[in-house]
Every structure is written in structure tokens, then in C-alpha cells.
A and B are shown apart, each in its own frame.
Chain A
Amino acid sequence: MRYIIIGGSAAAISAVESIRSLDRESPIDLFSEEETPLFSRVLLPYYIAEELSKPLLNFRTADFFDENRVTAHMGLKVTVIDPKTKTIETVDKKTYAFDKLLIATGGKAIVPPIPGIDKEGISTLKTMADAERIYNTKGARAVVIGAGSIGVEACISLTRRGIKTTLLEQLGQVMPTVFDAEAAAIVQRRIEDLGIEVFTGEKALKFTGDKRVQGVVTDNREIPCDMVVLSVGVRPAAELAVRAGLTIGDMKGIRIDENMMTSVQDIYAAGDVAETRDIARNAYFLNAIWPCAFEQGHIAGLNMAGRKTAYPGSYRRNSIGNFIGIPAISMGVTHAESCALQSDEDEFREIRVRTKESYKKLVLRNGKIIGAILVGQTQKAGLMSILLRKQVNVADSIPLLMSDRLSFMDLLPILRRNADQFSEPEYKELIDTGL
């Protein structure tokens, strides 16, 4: 068996570990466009903030490839996948044959078509080269365009370096795909408390300056700056798959089946490039987040190495971490309306509890959790996550779920009612012996 993996981040590394758990011998060749191996993309804002030096960005130790006997081709671009001959070709015109291929090429940062976008001092934040460019840019005033997770973390990172930063978001709130308006307001106030100027509902129209950027013109004002970070989102890096004739989904990601296989036998996809069935939305969706990439790489690896394993489906999970001083976690859908497949019989409910410093919200479809937001008190977020993943009916336990005193043991009646879905030994132990 010859394995080839295209990509070198979460999904790729997770797949290596799964393949090696079943197959110690067969050769694995891994190709990554990044020069730097094994770094964690989600930590790049921490690098810019000078909180983590480069070696501390690694999520696996430097000897990972040796330990797992992986031939890693770093900085080498794959140009062609040929499903007929089961080969790939690299930019240096070499050909490699595979029996099982994993496409884990991730995403590409979107560069919006704003006039003046090619001026110096403007950068996306996706690759190590991006992070180094931003880190090395000498500036006193920055504008971050796009207030998603990366945008928020980027503007806080720059602020910590003493750079006066403005955050610009064209939608009406910060982190629009992560939080609802109420949670976003709490987060935005925290961001502003750090000395960051936030403008929502405002669009960047053009960049001014000769060679180097000198300002951002919006619908309402001109913001002077000497650097710009673009964080308006990512799209799947699916070009190889498109050219190879693989089925692509509505959201431009590679469509996969429940075993993470693409429309072509023996070619698998996982991570930000893959379009998976979203449990919360009950539709195919791109959930370009670290935990999904890791899970999908794991399932893909097992299937590639011969152990047929089904992926239960993806769902969005975001944690803002310690960046804003209070924990905030969100998962699934933020509003009932954002569910794509709504049938007439579906019954949606939203439940909210707001105190001075905390906020909690559950979104339910037919009594099952499809979304949760927790700000302030987040320790029990994982309980919501597992109930969402397993899609069990919780309609009779709402007050309990909304309480800050919720504990795992309180969920035992729900688990017992759905014992067949909680078959993992850790749950069984407590179901059998608990209260």
C-alpha cells in the first residue's frame, strides 16, 4: 500500500496518526506548500502578538515525521492529480504513484476585489509567510478588515504590540458567523475596552497611498493606517480536485461520503477543503475549523488503512479563548433561521439567559440542540457539544441545561433514554453505575 497525503496541517497529521495506528509499514509521502512543518495555523495570531515563538507554534514534535516514517516534501506544490493512473505530479515535474490519496489542502484566504488591494503593507493572515510578513511590517496604525475569529485575534495581537488598530466589519456585528447580536455586543465591548476602535456595518471601498498603503476609505470615513490585515474568510483550496474531475459541492468544497471518500474511489478528502454533512444544519456545509479537520483526518486515515469507519458529521465549534478576558464558546447554528433545510414540520426554539457578565443561548430543532452560545460561564460547553453531536431530545431538560449548576450526572436520564447512542465505554461506565 502506498499512501499520499497532500497537505500538512491538522487533517493531514491526524490522518498520518490513524494510518500508522493500523499500518506501521507502508510508505507515506506527504506534500505541503508550507516550508515550515507541523505548525498550527490557528496560533499565528499568538506569533504576531509575540506570545509564542516559532518553535512553540508546533502541534507535534519535530521528530514526528521520522517517528511515523513519513517522507515529508515541504514547500513542494502538487500540480496534478490523475485519478486514472493513480498518480500525482509535483511542480518539479516528478510523478508519484498512490494506492490511497488524501486531499487535505485546506483553505485559501479570500482576497476581496477592493481597489488598491496590491499596495504594500496589506496582507492576509493564513500562512506562515503571511504571519511573518505582518510581524515584520513596521507600522504604527493598522486596520483589520473582517471581524471573524482570525480578524478579532489579529487586531488584539497587533494592539498588544503597541500598534493602534481599527477593526472593520461590513456586517452589523463582530464575529457574525460565530455569535448572535447579543453575544457579539459583549465581545465587542471587551474588544473596545482593549483600546481597539470597532466599526461594524461599514465596508472598505478602497485603499489610498502610493506604493505603501496610507488609508482605508469606507462608506463613512477614511481611516489612516500604514498596514492592513485582510481576514474576510477562507475558501476551500479545491483547484486540484476540480481539475481532477472530483465532485464539488455547492459551497465549492470537495464533496465526500460518510467514509470521507470523494466521488473517486481511493481518493479521500478531509479538513477545510471538504464539504461534509453538517449535523446542526442537516445539510452539506464547510466547517473550516481545527477540531473538524482533526476528526475528519482521523476518520479518513482509518478508512484509507482499511478500517471502514463512518463520520457522524461535522458541526461548527469556536472558542475565543483568553483573548478578550472572558471565555466565550459557540457551536452549531447561531440562529434557527440559519438552518438550510427547513421543513414545515420542524419546530424551532431559541432559549436565552442573560446576566450582567454572562450569556447563554440554546437553539433547538424538534427538541434537539442544534446550536449553543456560552459567554462567561463556559465550563459545561462540552456537554452541549455532545448533546448536539448525538442529536438526542432534550426538550424536558431545558431549565437544567440553562443552569450554571448543570453537571454531567444531571444528564444521565437523557443518556439512559438514548443508551444505544452513548456506547463509548466512558459513558457506559457512568450510565451503569451512576445515579
Chain B
Amino acid sequence: MKVLMVDKEKCTGCHQCELWCGTEIASISKELATAINETPQPVPRVYVEGKPFAMQCRHCEEAPCLDACPNGTMRRDPETGLIYVNEPTCIACWMCVMVCPFGIINPSSSLKVAIKCDRCRSMGYPICAEVCPTGAISLVERKDYRKKKF
């Protein structure tokens, strides 16, 4: 399966991916100037953290969130292998948050659902990779990921 790869040399920490993810994926209005005033505030699924580095769900091969979810809300798309939250059935128990080894599931108390990256599964391309101005984020086959030289 394909995973998102981030080139640490190219990531400048500009947060463009966060802005676009929050607007395009999370907001109702889909327009930044309006989105920032929405209540509840839209939350991006990508986190530009640390040094900096853009971090999204890794869609683990053995995903602890799938096992921890007590009502099958956390699901894996059999065709793409992508893991997503079926938001209508989420009961906000935060069991997935408790076990995510990357800390990328957001327990949204205002929306009462677990929020995480589904790698834009319904859009055909991940928005963060599309908008990254330096090309730091790209989509690669998992088996090729570690062959890349940095």
C-alpha cells in the first residue's frame, strides 16, 4: 500500500498542509477566511510538529486503533488498506487515542468524535501532498519507503 513520506530536508514548517487540511477536509465552508470563524473550529488531521516534520496517520499494518475500538467505528478500507473513522457511530470513548503509537488521533470534545487522517480516501489524492510548496510530502509505496536516500 501507499504511505505518505515526508522529506525532513524539504519540510520548512510552513504549516500549509495543516491550513489546507483544516479547510478542505475539516471545515464546512471550505474557505479559509470563513473556516477560521466556524464553531466548532475545524481541526486539521496533519500535525507539523517538532523540528519541524509533518505527521499524519501511518495506517499501520497491525493497527492498535482497530483492535481497541469497541464498536467497529475504526475501520480499514479493504481495497486501499487505509484506516478511517466512521464518524456517525463514534461514541467518543477515546480508546483509539489511548493506543495510537504516533499520537495523531485527536479526541475532539466539541465534535465528540475521534479525528484522524484518512489520507483523503474519498478524494483520490492527499491534500497535504498536493499543497506542500516545497514538495516535502509525497505518496510512495510502503515497500519503497525505506529505499529512499535522504
Contact = CB atoms under 8 A, between A and B. Distances in A.
B98 A407 contact: no
B127 to A, nearest CB: 21
A409 B47 CA distance: 11
Contact of B98 (A295, A325, A382, A429): A382
Nearest to A422: B101
Contacts of B132: none
A56 B61 contact: no
Nearest to B68: A291
Nearest to A52: B91
A59 B60 contact: no
B134 to A, nearest CB: 16
A432 B146 contact: yes
Interface string B71-102: 11000000000000000010111110111111
B91 A291 contact: no
B117 to A, nearest CB: 13
A410 interface: yes
Nearest to B95: A319
Nearest to A51: B91
A409 B53 contact: yes
Contacts of A410: 49-50
B92 A321 contact: yes
Interface stretch (B21-29, B31-39, B105-113, B118-126): B105-113
A386 B98 CA distance: 10
Contacts of A290: 68, 70, 95
Interface stretch (A161-169, A257-265, A326-334, A359-367): A326-334
B91 A298 contact: no
B58 A426 contact: yes
6 contacts: A291-B99, A325-B109, A327-B97, A327-B109, A409-B51, A435-B50
Given A407-B49, A425-B61, 19 more contacts: A42-B93, A43-B71, A52-B71, A58-B71, A317-B95, A320-B94, A321-B92, A322-B91, A379-B103, A382-B105, A406-B103, A407-B103, A408-B103, A409-B50, A426-B101, A429-B142, A429-B145, A433-B5, A435-B51
